[in-house]
Amino acid sequence: MDLYKTNKVYNDRFIYCVLFKYSMSRTLCPNCHRPEKACICAFTADIANEIQVVVLQHPSEVSHTKGTVALLAKSLRKCQVLVGESFDDEQEFLQVMAQYQLVLLYPSEQAHFLDEDVRIKLHNCQSNTQDGPHTQLTQYRLQVSIENKSKPLCLVILDATWKKAYRMFMLSTKLQQLPQVCLPDHLANAGQYHIRKVAKKNALSSLEASCYALAILEQDEQDCLPISPEHAGKYQPLLEKFQQFNQFQLSFRPEHKSLLRKLDDS
């Protein structure tokens, strides 16, 4: 008897039984596919983002209930999520590279703060097809090839822990070759991601980082107010929904339930 095949059949049946029992024991939301008591639909916001967002998500984040990418993807009209660890040979990512001018939001040593000057230079790359590839952006080391200048911008983010995001970055040569930007300190230090332990103080969630980056890149020239945690343009409603999402997730913690019981008894 082939022990491997026997174990595989057993494992497949076990997994099927567990999934079947799980699905029968809980009613799932037809929209977000989560148990009804953990539904996140109330925390989404319909936002017509101008710039495409591509999230490169580490496999370990896919089923994480405290992750924010599901909320982000259901809120932005232009958002694609690709799951993997290395993307150099990922066909869907290669198609994205062929279609868009990619900008990676990642705080590497080569990254430059995403401010108005960088925003203008990135947008100039789309319209100014007469200049050489480095004319406008040499001082920022945002290397954009001539053929990319006519393509629409696309923001790429890595959804993973800091350690795993670094591994994803190092495994993918194509990611390292992209223009890299990071958020200014007043935004990077304004994180409200209280529901998950992070390695850095005030670390931003993928949702927060995406909202702030998009708000800067899409900011109307007539809007003279700088992007801030209190002023993020059309992304402000989603950031406010995210704070509600934090409180919702905190309500499932044992210490929170214990506090509620004490308040009810008093």
Hey, what are 32's tokens? 């977000």
Q: Is the CB of residue 34 less than 8 Å from the CB of residue 22?
A: no
H/E element, 264: helix 254-265
Q: Is residue 11 domain-shared with residue 143, that is, in the same domain?
A: no
Confidence of residue 203 (pLDDT cuts 50, 70, 90): confident
Q: Is residue 245 domain-shared with residue 190, that is, in the same domain?
A: yes
- Give the contacts of 240 (CB within 8 A, at least 6 positions apart): none
Torsion sign (Cα): 70, 92, 58, 228? negative
Which tens digit of pLDDT belongs to each residue from 56-104? Answer: 999 999 988 778 999 999 999 999 999 999 999 999 999 999 999 999 9
How far, in Å, CA of 70 to CA of 166, rounded?
22
| Model pTM score | 0.77
Does the pLDDT value for residue 196 go beyond 70? no
Q: Is residue 173 domain-shared with residue 204, that is, in the same domain?
A: yes
CB atoms within 10 A of CB 90: 18
Which tens digit of pLDDT belongs to each residue from 148-191? Answer: 557 899 999 999 999 999 999 999 999 999 999 999 999 998 87
Instruction: Give the domain extent around 2.
Output: 1-39
Decide if 163 is inside a domain. Answer: yes
